[in-house]
């Protein structure tokens, strides 16, 4: 296969703001148990159209939140939520991807694009991310993007009616 043929098979991923047209896909994706399993309880379950409306109008405007789009289709979300006061130069990174798009490197690529944006356009010094123990795919995304595990937090989260451990990852931006 020539390099021209290979390049034509590469999907085009971009980060962009959320738009009204994303609402139905948000409801579909975020009601899939395999997608929401490791997500924060800040994302309502079940996820309704009213939740998607709020997200597009208000929620996605907080911090540095971007829709992940591949070949013109919404496939997920990536963002960084800056801390306050003494943590004002640290942001908490997070992301999710629709299960139809898992295993293709899209989360790693999207997080990498967000990191580049944060490095060039903010004075943030650090990103950190919490991962539920057992979410190996997310651990690999973070490691590929230069994060290192800094802590194993025992019984740090309560989800699905039980306590679970979490891993804290960090990455310096400068």
State residue 16 phi and psi, 5-degree precision: -155, 165
Distance, in Å, from the CA atom of 55 to the CA atom of 44, rounded to the nearest integer, reads: 11
Task: Supply the pLDDT for residue 10.
Answer: 66
How many CA atoms, within 13 angstroms, populate the side-chain half-sphere of residue 170?
10
Confidence of residue 41 (pLDDT cuts 50, 70, 90): very high
Question: How many residues in the chain?
Answer: 174
Range 1-12 average pLDDT:
54
Kindly state the percentage of the chain with pLDDT values over 70. Answer: 94
Q: Considering only CA atoms, which of 28, 61, 55 is closest in space to residue 42? A: 55
Task: Supply the pLDDT for residue 9.
Answer: 54
Task: Supply the pLDDT for residue 101.
Answer: 98
Range 121-150 average pLDDT:
98
Structure tokens given for 41: 């309880």
Averaged pLDDT score across all residues of the chain: 94
The pLDDT tens digits of the residues spanning 57-66 come to 999 999 999 9
Range 6-13 average pLDDT:
66
| Angle between helices 23-30 and 49-57 in degrees, nearest 10 | 120
Q: Give the per-residue SS3 of the chain.
A: CCHHHHHHHCCCEEEECCCHHHHHHHHHHHCCHHHHCCCCCCCCCCCCHHHHHHHHHCHHHCCEEEEEEECCEEEEEEEEEECCHHHCCEEEEEEEECHHHCCCCHHHHHHHHHHHHHHHHCCCCEEEEEEECCCHHHHHHHHHCCCEEEEEEEEEEEECCEEEEEEEEEEECC
Instruction: Say whether pLDDT at 6 is over 90.
Output: no
Instruction: Say whether pLDDT at 70 is over 50.
Output: yes
Instruction: Say whether pLDDT at 45 is over 60.
Output: yes
CATH for 3-126 (3.40.630.30, 3.40.50.300, 1.10.10.10, 3.60.10.10):
3.40.630.30
Range 81-96 average pLDDT:
98
């Amino acid at each position: 296969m020539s390099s021209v043929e290979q390049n034509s098979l590469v999907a085009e991923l971009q980060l962009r703001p959320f738009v009204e047209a994303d609402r139905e896909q948000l409801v579909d994706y975020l009601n899939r148990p395999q997608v929401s399993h490791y997500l924060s309880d800040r994302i309502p379950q079940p996820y309704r159209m009213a939740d998607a409306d709020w997200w597009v109008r208000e929620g996605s405007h907080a911090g540095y939140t971007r829709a992940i789009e591949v070949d013109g289709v919404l496939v997920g979300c990536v963002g960084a939520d800056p801390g306050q006061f003494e943590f004002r130069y640290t942001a908490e990174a997070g992301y999710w991807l629709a299960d139809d798009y898992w295993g293709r490197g899209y989360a790693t690529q999207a997080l990498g694009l967000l990191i580049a944006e944060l490095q060039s356009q903010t004075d943030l010094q650090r990103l950190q991310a919490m991962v539920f123990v057992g979410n190996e795919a997310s651990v690999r995304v973070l490691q590929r993007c230069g994060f290192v595990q800094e802590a194993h937090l025992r019984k740090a989260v309560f989800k699905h009616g039980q306590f679970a451990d979490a891993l804290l990852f960090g990455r310096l931006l400068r």
